[in-house]
Amino acid sequence: MSDHDTEDHLEDIPLDALPLDAWHRARGARMVPFAGYEMPIQYEGIVAEHNWTRENAGLFDVSHMGQLVLSGPDLDAAVEAVLPIDLSTLKLGQQRYSLLLDEEGGVLDDLMVSRWPEALYLVVNGATKWDDMGTLREALPDDITLNYLDDRALLALQGPKAADALARHANGEYPLSALTFMKFGQFKLAGHDVTIARAGYTGEDGFEISLPSDAAAEIADLLCAEPEVKPIGLGARDSLRLEAGLPLYGHDLTPETSPIEAGLVFGINKRRRTEGGYPGADRINREIAEGTARKWVGLKLDGRLPAREGAEVFSGADKIGTVTSGGFSPTLGAPIAMAYVASEHAAIGTALEVEVRGKRLAATVSPTPFVPHRYFRGS
Amino acid sequence: MPRYYTDEHEWIDVEDDVATVGITEYAQGQLGDIVFVELPEVGAMIEQGKDAAVVESVKAASDVYAPITGEVTETNAALEEDPALVNASPEDAGWFFKMTIAAPAELDKLMDEDGYKAFVEDL
């Protein structure tokens, strides 16, 4: 028996420990190398953890992600020269999805941008954070300060019961229920100052909590003592985000993909589509106007055999695309995948085939998310 | 009926001239939730140490190697309907396939139960 996957085997790179390393091990996590850290892939099992999150609430340690703070004079103009975001419409307390693009419009990273008083707070992917800091430092004027919050941990509490569990402990100027999707605020948890954003990567209602690293174990214990909450590993994080139709950087998004191909046009804010003035704007605006040769689509596969990243997609004898993420959906009980396919084959309902180990599997272009999002947009 | 083990975590039961092959309890625990098992064709010749089957878990695909050389004579049809049988009963109802024993001497290279237990404890 041996694993086909070798991409995350980073044996030659020294691995760092996350603030909750010992906490994960004490709870029986199986640790694997990921993004330069040892991270928990699972505790009791991926399917059980996946289903628990869809029905209750799961606590994810995402402290590998980079938390950055930008500040300085004319901050908005400086950041708009680097990101295709419209900061004139990002108010204090709001968070927005954005993209770090290269000069050709390829995706260097996807990230969240939040408006702090006199500052912008960014959450970037763990595997790309060092490169991102280099890119940002080079692109931003010298009088813009870039702070890497390496003394902060990041926990995500996700699922339909996340709000109930967290509200029992979060104290702030206003109740937690005042936060709607993509809003954030300052709260206290077990006496510690934390920033809570109503956002996540599972398609469920949920929160991302930025907290001091030295309080991470105490707060993780506090939340996991709630009957609705269990710790959830990276394995279920991946199957949950795949069902939610959300891209994973390094797989679905790379410097070789454009955000327009990936259907992320919302990441190019409206004013910026006409004004440009960010890296790759020429290509991006051309693609918005004229369309792209390929599109990122959802695929539902017949049978039970999953198609993984790299599997080729066919229409008859013609190879027309490649799977970028694929697996078995615990919620649907069937294999699902995301793939870039030639745009003429991207319409919902198109019958295609995916090749796995020489076998052709029937697949249908399907709407995403595969499992409906349940974000809290207000009651 | 003697049971042998490989260092790739397959087990093999030998009864007269037929062998039954599966993966171990340790292997199923490492793989996690199994969603699909791709079995060899009946009549296929498989060679010791070479690919014989593929197990798909939620997270990845893993190869299962032939513990010995021989011809596949039967596969476990129950795994088609219920691949999770491998998680529930890896060393019994979740067997993969039966095969002939082309070269009985190959069995000598495999571990017995105690040897395998010690091998897993060292991992």
Q: Which residues of B touch A (CB under 8 A)?
A: 8-10, 23, 27, 30-33, 35-36, 38, 54-65, 83
Task: For residue B58, list chain A residues with Cβ-Cβ distance below 8 A.
Answer: 46-47, 50, 235, 239, 327-328, 330
The whole-model pTM stands at 0.94
Dist CA A171 CA A149 (whole Å): 23
Mean pLDDT for chain A overall? 96
Per-residue pLDDT at A10: 47
For residue B59, give the chain A residue with the closest CA: A235
Tell me if A41 is assigned to some domain. yes
**pLDDT of A3:** 64
Residue the block writes with tokens 């956002």: A199
Minimum distance, in Å, between the CA of residue A69 and any CA atom of chain B? 34
Predicted confidence band of residue B59 (pLDDT cuts 50, 70, 90): confident
Tell me: do A213 and A354 sit in the same domain: no
Q: Is the dihedral of CA A203, A206, A208, A212 positive or negative?
A: negative
Q: What is the arithmetic mean of pLDDT over A162-191? A: 97
**What residue in A sits closest to B83 (Cα-Cα)?**
A304
Q: Taking the CB of residue A94, how many other CB atoms lie within 10 A of it?
A: 14
Q: What is residue A1's predicted lDDT score, i.e. its pLDDT?
A: 67
- Partner-chain contact A305 B36, CB within 8 Å: yes
| Contact check, Cβ <8 Å, B36/A328 | yes
Decide if A117 is inside a domain.
no
Fold observed for domain B3-103: OB fold (Dihydrolipoamide Acetyltransferase, E2P) (2.40.50)
Query: Where in chain B are the domains?
Result: 3-103
Closest residue in A to B58 (Cα) is A328
Give the mean pLDDT of A144-154: 98
Together in a domain, A36 and A155: yes
Q: Which domain holds residue A58?
A: 16-62+151-243
pLDDT band at A13 (very low <50, low <70, confident <90, very high): low
Contacts of A305 in chain B (CB under 8 A): 36, 38, 56
Residues A54 and A188 both lie in one domain: yes
**Domain final residue pick, A243, A259, A280:** A243
A304:B83 CB<8 A: yes
| B52 burial via Cβ count (<10 Å: 0-12, 13-18, 19+) | buried
Residue B80's closest chain A neighbor by CA?
Answer: A304
Pairing of strands A57-61, A229-231: parallel
What gap in Å lies between CA A246 and CA A265, rounded to an integer? Answer: 14
- A95-101 and A37-42 beta bridge pairing: unpaired
Q: Is residue A218 part of a domain?
A: yes
With an 8 Å Cβ cutoff, are A1 and B36 in contact?
no
Compare all CA atoms of chain B with the CA of A50 and give the residue at the minimum distance: B58
Q: Does A47 touch chain B (CB under 8 A)?
A: yes
Q: How many CB pairs under 8 A join A and B?
A: 66
Do A301 and A157 lie in a common domain? no
CA distance A305 to chain B (A): 6
Could you tell me the CATH number of the domain that includes residue A164? 3.30.1360.120
∠ CA A268-A346-B56 to the nearest 5 degrees? 100
Inter-chain contact A306–B55, Cβ cutoff 8 Å? no
- Beta bridge partners, A295, equal A341
Task: Residue A230: name the closest of A72, A53, A15, A70 by CA.
Answer: A53
Q: Do A228 and A340 belong together in one domain?
A: no
- Nearest-Cα distance to chain A for B17, in Å, is 24
Q: In this predicted structure, what is the pLDDT of residue A7?
A: 45
Q: How many domains does chain A have?
A: 2
Please indicate whether, in this complex, the C-beta atoms of B64 and A330 are within 8 angstroms of each other: no
Write the pLDDT tens digit of every residue in A22-63. 999 999 999 999 999 999 999 999 999 999 999 999 999 999
**Residue A21 sits in the same domain as residue A169:** yes
pLDDT tens for residues A294-327? 999 999 999 999 999 999 999 999 999 999 999 9
| Structural domain ending residue among the three candidates A204, A221, A243 | A243
